[in-house]
Amino acid sequence: MAEVAVHSERRGEGIVISDDWPGYSLDLFSYPAHYSGDLDCVIIPHGVIMDRTERLARNIMDELGDHDIVVLCVLKGGYQFCADLVDRIKALSRNSNRTIPMRVHFIRLKSYLNDQSTEDLHILGAEDLSFLAGKAIVGTGKTMKTLLKHVEAFGPKMIKVAGLLVKRVPHSSACVPDYVGFEIPNRFVVGYALDYNEYFRDLNHICVISESGKLKYKI
């Protein structure tokens, strides 16, 4: 899971980034020049993302190392996190007495227009998930509450949700992931495959988009 929203009183187990955290200056990092003026700050550098993802992979190995699992990657925002998480699980599996047989399946959800989440949710690739019966599922992607109901109907042995980002949003009823990377303020972030109208997926760091950036790429 790349990003979910959670009520501010329901804290995950991830690294907490406080509401008053100003982020890092863009001048400290390299980023595509075509996004100059479109970003406010770097909120999570790429290297920190990688280190945290490796820790989540170790947690998954510790808890699910004896299970045959299916990874459900929710596109498009979750693809980079999913790819890096799976790579690290595979690396740990190669160098451990405990291994995880894995399959990866891709599902696409669409729920954002500009910077607003909408009620119009489309699920592609989840029509027939009968192969999940009896398997342990690790879901990675946003808008998981709706998807979980759909997946449960196919009778998996267990379902675990991995989320890189949990966003503190007032009055949210979203599910809290079992494996959390970072808990962040309620700000619209882009980069590391998270987009704003399909832009910024080519940005390695997770950044806060500027108001001018929102206007520039608004549809």
Least confident of 70-79, 132-141, 192-201: 132-141
Radius of gyration of the chain (CA): 17
133, pLDDT greater than 80: no
* Angle in degrees, CA 7, 55, 92, rounded to 5: 140
pLDDT tens for each residue of 101-115: 888 888 777 655 455
* Angle in degrees, CA 68, 154, 146, rounded to 5: 105
pLDDT tens for each residue of 20-68: 999 999 999 999 999 999 999 999 999 999 999 999 999 998 888 778 8
Q: Determine the pLDDT at residue 219.
A: 87
Q: Determine the pLDDT at residue 188.
A: 93
DSSP per-residue string spanning 65-96: TTS-EEEEEEETTTHHHHHHHHHHHHHHHHTS
10, pLDDT greater than 50: no
In which band, very low, low, confident or very high, does the pLDDT at 173 lie, cut at 50, 70 and 90? low
CA distance 67 to 74: 21
CA distance 81 to 73: 9
CA distance 94 to 182: 27
Per the model's pLDDT, the better-predicted residue between 174 and 139 turns out to be 174
* Angle in degrees, CA 123, 146, 106, rounded to 5: 40
Which alpha helices (H) appear in 95-143, and where do they start and end?
A: none
- For residues 41 and 49, the answer to whether their CB atoms sit within 8 Å is no
CA distance 153 to 135: 13
Q: Determine the pLDDT at residue 128.
A: 52
In which band, very low, low, confident or very high, does the pLDDT at 94 lie, cut at 50, 70 and 90? confident
Of the spans 142-146, 163-167, 213-217, which averages the highest pLDDT?
213-217
pLDDT tens for each residue of 119-131: 555 665 545 555 4
Q: Determine the pLDDT at residue 11.
A: 38
Share of the chain above pLDDT 90, in %: 45
